[in-house]
Structure 1
Amino acid sequence: MQFAKPLPSYLVTRYHGWKATTYDENQGWYRRLATEGQRPRAMVISCCDSRVHVTSIFGADQGEFFIHRNIANLVPPFAPDGDHHGTSAAVEYAVTALKVSHLIVLGHSQCGGVQGCIDMCKGKAPHLEEKTSFVGRWMDILKPKFAGVADIDDEVEQARQFERQAVVASLENLMTFPFIDDAVKAGQLSLHGLWTDIGEGGLEAYDPKSGGFAPV
């Protein structure tokens, strides 16, 4: 593959630093993970945003979370159409093979994907409306939820509320998967919706009774 390049030197330096410290001090743990396989208790679906660091937020170690990241932490509805479905495949593996007990959808503040969807809904992002836009077609998953925030005049508040609606949309779509519906009804799996404020370090949880989010 002629287009592949050597790793940047700063990453090579960081790797060797990790290998000489963190790995060296925990060799037994890493080897145990390698030989015994993974047994995560929870799956987390979060955004690709580099500012969202799931393991740091919960102080988690390797092997604790099965993590899937995509634009705006969205889950599409169940669609067994034979096409490529990366998020659906990750969800299927976590629930049916790994038997996770918890499935967490984690949204966040200042989400670029959510803002892109807002711009689409307001007719301000024609490039995302193009059929060839992978981001635009992915954000189509969220567009139906815009009606719930369309009347909010403050743009910052509108975005924050829509970010929370992205979490709700994913929770709703998760329940369209038969194997998730079965696991939830059998008490083998619980779904959780969270939203984190990057700047303030806050964390809110979705309350299905009120239909809103409250600090944890």
Structure 2
Amino acid sequence: MSEAAEIGQERSAALLPERLVAGYEAFLSGRFAREHERFEHLASVGQNPRILLIGCCDSRVSPEVIFDAAPGEIFVVRNVANIVPPYGPNGDHHGTSSAIEYAVLALRVTHIVILGHASCGGMRAYAEAERDPYFKPLSAGDFIGKWISLIAPAAERLGPVDEPIEVYSERLAFASIIQGLANLRTFPAVANLEKRGILSLHGAYFGIAQGKLLALDERSGTFIPVSPDAHAATFAEPRF
């Protein structure tokens, strides 16, 4: 390696966390090298994903990893607790709503998936505040406190927190996904396209520890395992 290259490498390593630099180098020699033509194609013609996925910021729940997605396949928006706010155009800043609008009207996606997950910190924070009025780590004046207040309609349907917080938080996660779908339908474009059969809405839930994926059957209001045979086969043989 030349002296100039060594200096350049040292400077780049100082500008980003070492983990990211190492990961980028692995990406260059691995996936980017294997899929270079795909990246060139995406750069020249633009993106054309068919799926908008609304997920949580939680670092353990990466949609691209869970669904083994290639670049350009899924348009992903992530926020705290995978919340979908109701339609409400006003002077505020609406990151998630703008992503929904762009995906539906500009990209013309044909599916929207809300992906919740186990052990969600946002759900637990809301549940703990509901159970104990003195437990207010996130006030209504904070960004997160105001944001997770959008969980309230889902919590109201569950009733008082009268069970272990871990159990209630998981039930709240499921209820919030259902509420999120209802909120999606308050967006005029979403409601119109779904009514015309052009757009489909879906709810899903990922169990981190065992990798189990559940999908919502809206007719029954229940979450059903996805690909149970494939999941069972993963654990049928010793993995290590």
What TM-score comes out, normalization by structure 2 length?
Answer: 0.84
Q: 1:19 maps to which residue? A: 28
* Code of the aligned partner of 1:154: P
Q: Runs of 4 or more off by more than 2 Å in structure 1?
A: 147-152
Q: Percent identity?
A: 39
Is contact 1:167–1:193 with CA below 8 Å preserved after alignment?
yes
Higher relative contact order (Cα pairs below 8 Å, separated by 6+ residues): 1
1:20 and 1:208 map into 2 onto residues whose CA distance is 44
Secondary structure, aligned partner of 1:140: helix
Contiguous gaps of at least 5 residues in structure 2: 1-13, 227-240
1:182 and 1:108 map into 2 onto residues whose CA distance is 28
Q: How does 1:184-199 map to 2 (within 5 A)?
A: 184-199=194-209
Q: 2:211 maps to which residue? A: 201
Instruction: Count matched residues.
Output: 211
Displacement, 1:95? 0.3
Q: 1:31 maps to which residue? A: 40
1:121 and 1:7 map into 2 onto residues whose CA distance is 40
Is contact 2:118–2:206 with CA below 8 Å preserved after alignment?
yes
1:81 and 1:91 map into 2 onto residues whose CA distance is 16
* Code of the aligned partner of 1:34: A
Displacement, 1:179? 0.6
* Code of the aligned partner of 1:212: T
* Code of the aligned partner of 2:129: M
Q: How does 1:99-114 map to 2 (within 5 A)?
A: 99-114=108-123
Secondary structure, aligned partner of 1:105: strand
Which of 6, 18, 25 is residue 15 of structure 2 equivalent to?
6
Q: 2:138 maps to which residue? A: 128
Which of 189, 193, 198 is residue 179 of structure 1 equivalent to?
189
The root-mean-square deviation of aligned C-alpha atoms, in Å, is 1.4
Q: 1:45 maps to which residue? A: 54
Which deviates the most, 52-61 or 20-29? 20-29
Q: 2:165 maps to which residue? A: 155
Q: 2:220 maps to which residue? A: 210
* Code of the aligned partner of 2:21: V
Once the two structures are superposed, residues 8-60 of structure 1 have per-residue CA deviations (whole angstroms, 9 ceiling, x without a partner) of 22321221221122212221111001101000010000000000011121111
Contiguous gaps of at least 5 residues in structure 1: none
Once the two structures are superposed, residues 34-87 of structure 1 have per-residue CA deviations (whole angstroms, 9 ceiling, x without a partner) of 101000010000000000011121111111000000000001110011221000
- Larger Rg computed on CA atoms: 2
Displacement, 1:127? 3.1
2:140 and 2:58 map into 1 onto residues whose CA distance is 23
